[in-house]
Amino acid sequence: MAEEPSEPHSIGAYRKAYEDGDSLLGFRSGCGFVTATWGLVCPRCGQRDLHVVRLSGRGTLAAFTVQTVPSDEFLNDAPYAYVVVELEEGGRITGWIEGTASEGALSIGAAVRWKPTYKPGVQFQLVGVASSDALGG
């Protein structure tokens, strides 16, 4: 988890970083709280000394759901999994797993990693599952 000055700390920078396939950005505050959600003051401790961090994109599932009814931006991707990922560095991030028709191989604690994509949002894939098709059924 490399730390950088707080200069690129904007929602646009977070989004550009993952859309470019460069990295997932977040911040770590003085209390140790890590999040991939933008803010100016830590919501846990109230400190302002936030350090932008490049997140590894590796973690485990903290919660998940398989959505059969999508929002408009995911119209052509349903069904898919919406997931909450517990990051290796601590803290959590949300994302989605493509081609997931049922809970199948999904379980809390399952290892996932960030998968850069041209599609919207932060996409993850299960570690050790060769193809997202294996989740179907």
Partner 1 sequence: MRETWVVGAASNRFGKMRESGREAATQVALAAIDSAGLRPTDIETTFVSNCFGIAERQAHLGPLINTALGIPEVPSCTIESACSSSSAGLHEAFVHVAGGFADAALVVGAEKLSHLDTLHATSYFAMGADYAFETRNGATFPGLYATLATAHRAKYGTRAEELGAVAIKNHANAARNPHAHFQKEITMESYLSSPVIASPLRLYDCCPFSDGAAALVVVARERFSSPPNEPLVINASVRTGSIADMHDRTTLTGLPATRLAAERAFRAAGIERSSVDLLEVHDCFTIAELLALEDLGFYPPGTAGRATAEGETQREGRLPVNPSGGLKAKGHPVSATGASQVAEIFEQFNGRAGGRQVPHPEVALAHNVGATGGSCSVHIFGRR
Binds partner 1 (CB under 8 A): choice among 41, 73, 127, 136: 73
Match 């959590």 to its residue by tokens: 92
Site membership for partner 1, residue 17 (CB under 8 A): no
| Residues constituting the chain | 137
Quick one: tokens of 115? 């998968």
Q: Which residue number, 38 or 56, has a Cβ lying nearer to partner 1?
A: 38
Smallest separation, CB 67 to partner 1 (Å):
5
In sequence order, which residues have a C-beta less than 8 Å from that of residue 19 and are 6 or more positions away?
none
Residue 57 to residue 28: CA distance in whole angstroms: 15
The contact set with partner 1 (CB under 8 A) reads 11, 14-15, 35-38, 43-44, 62-75, 77, 80, 82-84, 91-96, 102-103, 108, 120-122
